[in-house]
Amino acid sequence: SQQGEEDPQALSIQEGENATMNCSYKTSINNLQWYRQNSGRGLVHLILIRSNEREKHSGRLRVTLDTSKKSSSLLITASRAADTASYFCATAGGLGAGSYQLTFGKGTKLSVIP
Amino acid sequence: ETGVTQSPTHLIKTRGQQVTLRCSSQSGHNTVSWYQQALGQGPQFIFQYYREEENGRGNFPPRFSGLQFPNYSSELNVNALELDDSALYLCASNGGAEETQYFGPGTRLLVL
């Protein structure tokens, strides 16, 4: 079953604009991660935010986490055509012994128009 | 590049057949997870192996099984294929207590 729900399902913006994607989840988490997927191939890890963190930055990416609302957002600033991809949030739940199972949402399909 | 490879890249099977998909993890990564991604959906967790033992399983029937080998390779086996098994199958590895999972490029399976 899918834990996370991304919003919007699809987003189309002009190059140079900012893109914001939101994710909501249902159960308590150890951490939340964002991944990018190009053209139905493998997922690329973008950023991880732990449950005791509220905001994290990595290059043009900014992630926030609100555990009270069970929600997260991913902001991509100054978007480029190469950012065109599907973006997924994934929550990490413990399997014990330090192992984690990732539960993904359905993703946001971002199109950046040159 | 994540250092995780999968083979084959594409595969076509008919209903009722069996299939084996392969994954080679990053050296030193003793945990491998397998995911199924149907078209237009997010990946769904199938199971995870840690040091050659199954460490957790998602909501998939027993005809989905796996193996992990000491040389950081692993297999996903699916018996009695059904049309709904058509999907992209992804493996991901991580080492120790590392929380980030590194994904391979996937195997696209089509069941006719």
Q: What tens digit of pLDDT does each residue of B21-73 get?
A: 999 998 888 899 999 999 999 999 999 998 899 988 999 999 999 999 998 89
What value does the mean pLDDT of chain B take? 93
Q: What tens digit of pLDDT does each residue of A22-68 get?
A: 999 988 888 899 999 998 788 999 999 999 999 999 999 999 999 99
**pLDDT of B100:** 85
A43 in contact with B at a CB cutoff of 8 Å? yes
**pLDDT of B103:** 94
> What confidence tier does A20 reach under pLDDT thresholds 50, 70, 90?
very high
Residue A102 pLDDT exceeds 80: yes
**Beta strands B107-111 and B10-13: pairing type?**
parallel
- CB spacing of B2 vs A30 below 8 angstroms: no
Taking the CA of residue A41 and the nearest CA in chain B, the distance in Å comes to 5
Residue type, B103: F
Q: Which alpha helices (H) appear in A18-96, and where do they start and end?
A: none
